[in-house]
Amino acid sequence: MSLSVGDLTLRLEARGISVSQEEIERLLPVFELYFKDLETLRSLDLGEEESALIFEPGRES
């Protein structure tokens, strides 16, 4: 996957976070790893598995 520093900067700005291009460049290898993780997550076939919007992980049976 090829991530653009400019694109990441703009997307963060759109979410109210101003970050220097140098910072993004420095962290680029980690952004790439995280985006790869997101891609893996999106590709999982979880069948009928639901996501409860209200949950208490320790108290579920």
Partner 1 sequence: MPNDTDLCYMSIDEAQRLIKQGKLSPVELAQAHLRRINALDGQLHAYLKLTEESALAEAAAAEAEIASTGPRGPLHGIPVAIKDQYDFAGIPALVRIPPPETSEDAGAVAKLRDAGAVVLGKLMMSGLPGKHPEPRNPWDTKRTSGGSSSGSGSAIASGLCMGSLGEDTAGSIRNPASCCAIVGLKPTYGRVSRRGLAPLGWSLDHSGPITRTVEDAALVLTAIAGQDPRDHTTSPAPVPDYTSALGQDIKGLVIGVPQHYLDILRPRLNDEIAAGFDKMLRDMEALGAKVEKVTIPSMEYASIATGVLYCCEYMAGRNLGLQAHVGIASDTRRARVYFGALTGAAEYLQAQRVRRRLKREMDETFRRVDVLALPGHLQPAGLIGEMTPIESLVTQLSPDYNGPFNLSGSPAMTLPSGFTNAGLPIAFQLVGRAFDEQTVLRIGHAYQQSAGWHTHHPEV
Which H helix or E strand runs over 24?
helix 21-43
Give least dist CB 2 to partner 1, A.
15
Site for partner 1 contains 37 (CB under 8 A) = yes
CA angle 39, 41, 44 (to 5 degrees): 110
Among 1, 2, 18, 54, binds partner 1 (CB under 8 A): 18
Say what angle helices 21-43 and 5-14 make with each other, to 10 degrees: 80
Residues of this chain that bind partner 1 (CB under 8 A): 8, 11-12, 15-19, 23, 26-27, 29-31, 33-34, 37-38, 40-42, 44, 46, 49-52, 55-61
